[in-house]
Chain A
């Protein structure tokens, strides 16, 4: 908007200068005409006097008078002629004077071509037209400038300000100019557009709210019966209702573990829904990542011992990261428990921390399991995709763990991925963007 205004200003200034130029030229033309007329008058006067003189040498008074005209004559060519004329007069050669006089008069008539009245008329015309057209041009330019400023620049400025307001959620539908010209139409179109966008956004918000409400109701309605089922089962297994025979206890155990799985599944679905709705607030703080890995390894020792798998943290350099501790632990636990599930007995599961060329921190969980085929690798991080374990087909996950891990890591600004060669094990990794080397010494406490 500023550039239009400034360009308009420059343009109008040029017009004003041009007007002044035209005025100047008109003035020049006018003075030229006036000089010519004066010259005409003087020539008349001279020829008149010369006729009077009739070849007699002029008196010194007359001579001075004639010389006085000389100064007023213009242009130079005629001054020269006049000087010659005077010269002949002073020589007293009257015949010559007469001849010259005739020559001069002839020249005058050729030169002028206009009568005196015509000359004066022309002068006035030049004066009128010149000054009136200059004045009109000046007024026209100025009014054009104000008109454009009022009906183009201002409304455009108004519109762009409204657009900025719209961007910053401060929008009102008021424009200072009523809508009947093209820009007014543009403004009212923008108003309708904004209205539509706002109502769409409101609709989306309502839908989003409905989704949240549904999730919270569903989670409550699903969890309530599960609480009763799970509670009854575990109370019965604890012997509160009398001792059980081993078969009954076994069956109750199955029912209880499947109930646990169902609860996990519901929790995972809710987690994922929150991640997808971007409603999972991260509580990020600088945390010792090395400690966190150690804690995750410790918490899975039981599972690892059952599967006869050894858990190791490779090269535990102290590292700190800006993360939500619980959420990154969730990711680590997911990777580690997967690795344990798919590892053959006696094989180690190791955690490595590496710095990538992009200066990101990469945390890798490596196993020596059966590996994953390239087709399976592609769909691993999708929802409800599972690779069955040949070693222990009874170990069942929810199929959401990796999808959740992916969501959590991406929420931290990092990436998840997998490298695997079938038959040689797999490496699951994730990257963290905000990290630094921690102070040494802290690690020894953790280890």
Chain B
């Protein structure tokens, strides 16, 4: 599985990439802001888009909306967020497959992603 990871914090992106590659066995491409994320998601082939909510230039929700409206076959989107208000979480569930709370546990990250995708069920190709 090839994952696009959009995360502006360099350290967190390194840890997430390492965790997904070493423990989950996925292929990971990292970008560092919203515009890059949208461009990459639209031009390259990924199986999953992992978006940080707070990013420079364009936030995660905007990227997700743009991606879904512009892409012919949008892939599932999962948000990474430190927000914990119920109204925010509802937005994430509405726009994406779900969200992973920050700080995430790198030991569990790959499993959390697979759990969310399996919850989504038949929608995932």
Complex contact A234–B11 (CB within 8 A):
no
Q: Does A98 contact B (CB under 8 A)?
A: no
Q: Which residues on the B side are within 8 Å of A219 (C-beta)?
A: 82, 84
Q: Does B49 contact A (CB under 8 A)?
A: no
Partner of B82, one of A224, A230, A234: A224
Partner of B16, one of A216, A231, A240: A231
Q: Does A172 contact B (CB under 8 A)?
A: no
Complex contact B19–A235 (CB within 8 A):
yes
Q: Which residues on the B side are within 8 Å of A143 (C-beta)?
A: none
| Contact digits for B1-16, partner A, Cβ 8 Å, 1 yes 0 no | 0000000010110011
Complex contact B12–A234 (CB within 8 A):
no
Bound state CA distance, A240 and B110, in angstroms? 14
Complex contact B15–A231 (CB within 8 A):
yes
| Contact digits for A253-276, partner B, Cβ 8 Å, 1 yes 0 no | 000000000010000001000000
Complex contact B18–A223 (CB within 8 A):
no
The verdict on A232 contacting B82 (CB below 8 Å), with A223-B103, A240-B23 known, is no
| Contact digits for A214-240, partner B, Cβ 8 Å, 1 yes 0 no | 001001100111111011101100101
Which range contains the number of B residues in contact with the other chain? 20 to 34
Complex contact A270–B84 (CB within 8 A):
yes
Complex contact A227–B107 (CB within 8 A):
no
Complex contact B104–A216 (CB within 8 A):
no
Q: Does B50 contact A (CB under 8 A)?
A: no
Partner of B86, one of A216, A225, A231, A281: A281
The verdict on A228 contacting B19 (CB below 8 Å), with A220-B82, A234-B105, A270-B84 known, is no
Q: Does B102 contact A (CB under 8 A)?
A: yes
Complex contact A228–B82 (CB within 8 A):
no
Complex contact B83–A238 (CB within 8 A):
no
Q: How far is the CB of A266 from chain B (nearest CB, A)?
A: 9
Q: Does B54 contact A (CB under 8 A)?
A: yes
Complex contact A235–B18 (CB within 8 A):
yes
Q: How far is the CB of B111 from chain A (nearest CB, A)?
A: 13
Partner of B22, one of A216, A227, A240: A240
Complex contact A224–B12 (CB within 8 A):
yes
Bound state CA distance, A228 and B102, in angstroms? 10
Q: Does B74 contact A (CB under 8 A)?
A: no
Complex contact B82–A223 (CB within 8 A):
yes
Bound state CA distance, A189 and B86, in angstroms? 43
Complex contact A231–B106 (CB within 8 A):
yes
Q: How far is the CB of A70 from chain B (nearest CB, A)?
A: 106
| Contact digits for B22-66, partner A, Cβ 8 Å, 1 yes 0 no | 110000000000000000000000000000001000000000000
Q: Which residues on the B side are within 8 Å of A263 (C-beta)?
A: 103
Instruction: Pick the most buried of B19, B54, B103: most chain A CB atoms within 10 A of its CB.
Output: B103
Partner of A231, one of B54, B82, B104: B104
Chain A residue nearest to B11 in the complex (CB): A228
Q: Which residues on the B side are within 8 Å of A224 (C-beta)?
A: 9, 12, 82, 102-103
Complex contact A234–B106 (CB within 8 A):
yes
Instruction: Pick the most buried of B12, B15, B22: most chain A CB atoms within 10 A of its CB.
Output: B15
The verdict on A232 contacting B23 (CB below 8 Å), with A226-B103, A227-B103 known, is no
Bound state CA distance, A219 and B103, in angstroms? 11
Complex contact B23–A227 (CB within 8 A):
no
Complex contact A230–B18 (CB within 8 A):
no
Q: How far is the CB of B70 from chain A (nearest CB, A)?
A: 28
A270-308 contacts to B (CB < 8 Å): 270, 281
The verdict on A228 contacting B86 (CB below 8 Å), with A223-B103, A234-B105 known, is no
Complex contact B84–A227 (CB within 8 A):
no
Q: How far is the CB of A209 from chain B (nearest CB, A)?
A: 14
Complex contact A223–B102 (CB within 8 A):
yes
Bound state CA distance, A228 and B9, in angstroms? 9
Chain B residue nearest to A259 in the complex (CB): B103
Partner of B107, one of A216, A225, A238, A281: A238
Complex contact B12–A227 (CB within 8 A):
yes
| Contact digits for B92-125, partner A, Cβ 8 Å, 1 yes 0 no | 0000000000111111000000000000000000
13 interchain pairs, CB-CB under 8 A:
A223-B82, A224-B82, A227-B12, A227-B103, A227-B104, A231-B12, A231-B103, A234-B105, A234-B106, A234-B107, A235-B22, A240-B18, A240-B22
Closest 4 CB pairs of A and B: A227-B103, A231-B15, A228-B11, A231-B106
Given contacts A224-B9, A234-B107, 7 further A-B contacts (CB under 8 A): A224-B82, A225-B11, A227-B15, A228-B11, A231-B103, A235-B106, A240-B18
